[in-house]
Structure 1
Amino acid sequence: MYLTQPLHRALQQYPDRAATIDGARQRTFREHVERVARLAGGLRSLGVQPGDRVAMMGRNSDSYLEYLMAVPWADAVLVPVNTRWSEIEVVDSLIDSEVEILLVDDAYVETGVAIQARCPGLRHVIHVGSGDHPEQWIDYETLLADSAPVEDARRSGDALAALFYTGGTTGRAKGVMLSHANLVTSALGCAATGFWTTPNGRFLHSAPMFHLADLCLWAAHSLAGNTHVIVPGFDARRVLDTVEEHRVTDLFLVPTMIQMLIDHPSFGDHDLSSLKRFNYGASPISPEVLDRTLRLFPDVELGQAYGMTELSPVATLLDPETHRSGTSRRFSAGRAAPHSEVRVVDVDGVDMPLGEVGEIVSRGGHVMLGYWKQPEATAAVLRDGWMHTGDAGYLDDEGYLFVVDRIKDMIVTGGENVYSAEVEKALYGHPAVESCAVVGMPDQTYGERVHAVVVLRPGATATADELRAHVKTLLAGYKAPRSVDFVDALPMSGAGKILKRRLRRTTATNGA
């Protein structure tokens, strides 16, 4: 199994069908495949060897989809860059993955210049777009025009397909190694449900393409031969306009985006009758938003996915029928996807009784190869073939999974994962901070918000805004605390550990 396989099928069976629609620009599968093969040839001409890592930092575009296919076509490995990260975080991931070629679009030229200066291993930067760029950078369209198409390497199976960097509890990102088999297995499992893709449909990319949730949908819709409609990023009005203009059939949004969409003043003015399927995931959805969505889209099939990057990323799926069942199961994470086994276990790996909380684990062809250059971290979570998610939950008598907490203190805000340890590390870098703890608190808009509880050094002063600004110099803006409490001391256990559960309880009681 390999990611580029759908292109060969498309070229044989429907070469003149629209492959991509990016604004006013449409390209057929024949044109799309030609450009992918030329970009792969261009990468080869720049010295890309089998297994080399090639990164891209950019907004959603048809060029991004060409990158996703051309890199494995050239027998190399994808490294999508999280554009919400700080410069320091991006540099660290590029150095760690030993990236030698980076694609940068118009929106990130300035950042790309700064990153190149700090990454001595970067041999080439390719500019994707029509704006100004440094003279030494390679122009994307010129590279395609000057390069002959090459044969698909058909990199496949257990060969590394992509590195996705995800935050770690130690404060440093880990590169999740996903194979071609991992990604195709997850996509095929989703497609096998029958409610994940619309035959001969049109899927709208509005979630970021660097995110594995969107990439999984890209792979599933590619397997189905569907058309990819693209907007640069999520904007509620633009999504509504695009659905109407291009008769989009399939959407994927995180719950925050759903709320923004249905709250938009022009929502009722758009013809959204083309929509057939509406999938969501990446963070919890509030009952109020779910109920409104079900009412506003009475003829649309809703599906939810639960998983994590290490699971390529899907472990469980909640089907449309259960969404409209009126039972408490509509607030579950669904049941094991066709490609996945799911259990809930105790600390010794023994199954918990039904209804009792334990750690969620998953097994199957979707489980990652491991963490890049981190064998000890890999061994800590992969045991006997089971991926230990660090999430807590329970199963009911029909296999529905209910996620109740995150053992690793992960905070999911607006669909993005934030680990408390990395925010705490940043806060400790401020001279006024003596000790701190970071927890997730419920938030109407973002699902959760990052909340910090801080003890200042004797005689020192600092405001919440000062601490927030400090964190933003080290981490992505969405990781900075949205709220801060200043206290005299943090609650500690007898073993000297901060009692975060008590902090959450106290903060909620005080209405912070």
Structure 2
Amino acid sequence: MNLTQGLHRAQQNHPERIATVFGDRQQTFHQMAQRVARLAGALQSLGVRASDRVAMLALNSDRYAEYFQAVWWAGAVTNPVNTRWSVPEIVYSLADCDSQVLIVDDQYLPLVEQIQERTRCVHTLIYAGDRATPPGMLGYEDLIADATPVEDAMRGGDALAAILYTGGTTGFPKGVMLSHTNFWIASIARMAEMGGQPGSISLIATPLFHVGGAGRLVGQSIGGNTIVIVPSFTAEGVLDAVERHGVNDLMLVPTMLQMLLDHPAFERRKMATIKRISYGASPIALPLLERTLDLFPGVEFASAYGMTETAASVCGNPPVNHGPEARKSGLVRSVGRAGYGCEIRIVDSDGNELPRGAVGEVIIRGGCVMLGYWKKPAETAAALRDGWLHTGDGGYLDEDGYLYIVDRIKDMIVTGGENVYSAEVENILARHPAVSVCAVIGIPSRQWGESVHAVVVLQTGSQATEEELRAHCRTALAGYKCPKSVEFREAMPLSAAGKVVKAQLREPYWRGQERKVS
């Protein structure tokens, strides 16, 4: 279970198949293997040894894919850096895991001087851009051209493969330690249940520093499939890449999917080659899912549920559960059943397992679960208890073992002693024809402790009043679940992975107060 095995297999089985496509650049698996072996040799010549951490601060690219493989080939550990972070957060993550080598592209080159001023651990800077190499840095392409290829270190199993930092908006980020086995099991289990689609052409539009992008890269590498990479998500970029390169396998976060369908340039014919659309990383509003299913008849749909701490997905809802019967029964809203090699339970606040249908915290056990948080034993002990990962997600299992996610535990609203799950309210709000995007949060209330508050982005050219949206909710929801107030915005705050950052929406309301949520 080493993460370079897929590259070896692809080089043996179909060396001339295209491995990566990025803009006008493309390379075969044979060419990629040669470049990876040389880059690994260059890293070792720079002093990188087994288990050392190598960081990359860059937009998605073919070089980013090579970085993952080369670091593992050299026997080291990847530390991909969140591109949405401030310099202090970047510096913290580099220093926290003692990354001594940092690879930077053109986009983040302006941050290098500030990073150098604030950290002492980074002693080697590699420029992975397309212009002349700046003074004091080593050229990525020069290193590959001049290096001697080395044999694969073949580290695998429980050896540390990556440190992916999560959080950072409230307090210091936590470095999630993922092993080769973690990534391997998560990818193989998903392929076994959903189908590996050999020979597919997959698009990577989610950021590669995030487990969604990195996990997808690993899965496609294991399968020996072609990956088309765009620097970052834009609707135009995705539409162009699909049409230009014949992409047939697409994975997007729900907010990305909505932006794609709402874009003026969207035309179904531009995506004629698509055979499968996967979605995940955050809950999808049912109206958006239904709209997408209607727009793409004959296309397979699958969802995934997981998190950084599980090397991406732990379960998925397969294409068979996206048909007319599943839409009618509500099975389409599930995130699927526990994947191979994984167990799921629903527990109360004391850790007691709850009966089917009861809402509680989702906990997970299996080979995909992280080794722990880097240098954070207290946080690790809080998350990993008796072999189970406590996710912080609220959900329930039905009688057939299908998991339904209702909310993040911290996002659940407690109003007048009643629990309100934001996703339920958001699904109703999203059905209003004027609503483009919405998020529901709890805000302070002297009378109820918390009250339900909706944040709404309207469709371009549409209008709606607060009372109109509240009346719309009252047609389908109990009174205590309906928003007591509505706030209109031009856009939502999004994380780099495309999720709505509810902490930013809540912060102005709870500033200076102790939030009372059970």
| Shorter-chain TM band | 0.7 to 0.9
Residues 374-415 of structure 1 deviation map (CA, whole Å, 9 limit, x = unaligned): 11211111122111111111111011111122224499xxxx
1:385 aligns with 2:387: yes
Residues of 1 paired with 2:363 and 2:511: CA distance?
39
Question: In structure 2, what is the equivalent of residue 142 of structure 1?
Answer: 142
Whether the 8 Å CA contact 1:453–1:487 is kept in 2: the answer is: yes
Spell out the pairing of 1:304-343 with structure 2 (5 A cutoff).
304-324=303-323, 325-326=326-327, 327-343=329-345
1:164 aligns with 2:164: yes
Q: CA deviation at 1:498?
A: 2.5
Identity of aligned residues (%): 49
Question: In structure 2, what is the equivalent of residue 228 of structure 1?
Answer: 227
Question: In structure 2, what is the equivalent of residue 469 of structure 1?
Answer: none
Question: In structure 1, what is the equivalent of residue 475 of structure 2?
Answer: none
Question: In structure 1, what is the equivalent of residue 194 of structure 2?
Answer: 194
User: Aligned to 2:267, what secondary structure does the other structure show?
Assistant: helix
Q: CA deviation at 1:481?
A: 3.1
Question: In structure 2, what is the equivalent of residue 85 of structure 1?
Answer: 85
Residues of 2 paired with 1:123 and 1:106: CA distance?
19
Residues 473-506 of structure 1 deviation map (CA, whole Å, 9 limit, x = unaligned): xxx996883577669995xxxxxx52258xxxxx
Structure 2 length as normaliser, TM-score?
0.81
Residues 53-85 of structure 1 deviation map (CA, whole Å, 9 limit, x = unaligned): 000011111000000100010010000111011
Question: In structure 2, what is the equivalent of residue 404 of structure 1?
Answer: 406
Q: CA deviation at 1:239?
A: 0.8
Question: In structure 2, what is the equivalent of residue 24 of structure 1?
Answer: 24
User: Aligned to 1:392, what secondary structure does the other structure show?
Assistant: strand
Q: Aligned residue pairs: how many?
A: 449
Question: In structure 1, what is the equivalent of residue 252 of structure 2?
Answer: 253
Q: Which amino acid aligns with 2:308?
A: T
Whether the 8 Å CA contact 1:450–1:481 is kept in 2: the answer is: no
Moved more, 385-394 or 477-486: 477-486
Residues 33-63 of structure 1 deviation map (CA, whole Å, 9 limit, x = unaligned): 0010011011001100110000001111100
Question: In structure 2, what is the equivalent of residue 481 of structure 1?
Answer: 504
User: Aligned to 1:3, what secondary structure does the other structure show?
Assistant: coil
User: Aligned to 1:271, what secondary structure does the other structure show?
Assistant: helix
Spell out the pairing of 1:428-507 with structure 2 (5 A cutoff).
448=439, 481-482=504-505, 497-500=514-517
Residues of 1 paired with 2:217 and 2:511: CA distance?
50
Cα 1:339–1:77 shift into 2, 3 Å: same
The Cα RMSD (Å) is 2.8
Residues of 2 paired with 1:167 and 1:369: CA distance?
17
Q: CA deviation at 1:353?
A: 0.8
Whether the 8 Å CA contact 1:394–1:401 is kept in 2: the answer is: yes
Residues of 1 paired with 2:117 and 2:68: CA distance?
25
User: Aligned to 2:108, what secondary structure does the other structure show?
Assistant: helix
Q: CA deviation at 1:3?
A: 0.5
Cα 1:88–1:487 shift into 2, 3 Å: closer
Residues of 1 paired with 2:385 and 2:512: CA distance?
38
User: Aligned to 2:175, what secondary structure does the other structure show?
Assistant: strand
Whether the 8 Å CA contact 1:40–1:150 is kept in 2: the answer is: yes
Cα 1:450–1:230 shift into 2, 3 Å: farther
Spell out the pairing of 1:61-76 with structure 2 (5 A cutoff).
61-76=61-76
Residues of 1 paired with 2:135 and 2:355: CA distance?
64
1:284 aligns with 2:283: yes
1:362 aligns with 2:364: yes
Whether the 8 Å CA contact 1:281–1:306 is kept in 2: the answer is: yes
Q: CA deviation at 1:169?
A: 9.3
Residues of 2 paired with 1:50 and 1:281: CA distance?
34
Residues of 1 paired with 2:199 and 2:29: CA distance?
13
User: Aligned to 2:171, what secondary structure does the other structure show?
Assistant: coil
Q: Which amino acid aligns with 2:381?
A: A
Cα 1:199–1:378 shift into 2, 3 Å: same
User: Aligned to 1:171, what secondary structure does the other structure show?
Assistant: coil
Q: Which amino acid aligns with 2:246?
A: R
Q: Which amino acid aligns with 2:380?
A: T
Residues of 2 paired with 1:410 and 1:123: CA distance?
45
Question: In structure 2, what is the equivalent of residue 243 of structure 1?
Answer: 242
Cα 1:390–1:148 shift into 2, 3 Å: same
User: Aligned to 2:395, what secondary structure does the other structure show?
Assistant: strand
Residues of 2 paired with 1:480 and 1:30: CA distance?
46
Whether the 8 Å CA contact 1:203–1:227 is kept in 2: the answer is: yes
Q: Which amino acid aligns with 2:270?
A: D
Cα 1:38–1:75 shift into 2, 3 Å: same
Residues of 1 paired with 2:122 and 2:61: CA distance?
23
Residues of 2 paired with 1:345 and 1:488: CA distance?
31
Question: In structure 2, what is the equivalent of residue 153 of structure 1?
Answer: 153
Whether the 8 Å CA contact 1:345–1:359 is kept in 2: the answer is: yes
Cα 1:323–1:101 shift into 2, 3 Å: same
Q: Show structure 2 runs of 5+ residues with no match.
A: 414-421, 446-486, 488-494
Residues of 1 paired with 2:17 and 2:89: CA distance?
40
Question: In structure 2, what is the equivalent of residue 432 of structure 1?
Answer: none
Cα 1:140–1:185 shift into 2, 3 Å: same
Residues of 1 paired with 2:512 and 2:150: CA distance?
64
Question: In structure 1, what is the equivalent of residue 128 of structure 2?
Answer: 128
Whether the 8 Å CA contact 2:411–2:441 is kept in 1: the answer is: no
Residues of 1 paired with 2:136 and 2:512: CA distance?
54
Question: In structure 2, what is the equivalent of residue 374 of structure 1?
Answer: 376
Whether the 8 Å CA contact 1:452–1:485 is kept in 2: the answer is: no
Q: Which amino acid aligns with 2:212?
A: A
User: Aligned to 1:106, what secondary structure does the other structure show?
Assistant: coil
Residues of 1 paired with 2:313 and 2:118: CA distance?
35
Residues 168-220 of structure 1 deviation map (CA, whole Å, 9 limit, x = unaligned): 7972211110000000000001100134x422110101111111111111111
Residues of 1 paired with 2:11 and 2:355: CA distance?
51
Residues of 1 paired with 2:412 and 2:252: CA distance?
20
Q: CA deviation at 1:236?
A: 0.6
Whether the 8 Å CA contact 1:285–1:447 is kept in 2: the answer is: no
Q: Which amino acid aligns with 1:64?
A: Y
User: Aligned to 1:294, what secondary structure does the other structure show?
Assistant: helix
Cα 1:168–1:221 shift into 2, 3 Å: same
Question: In structure 2, what is the equivalent of residue 424 of structure 1?
Answer: none
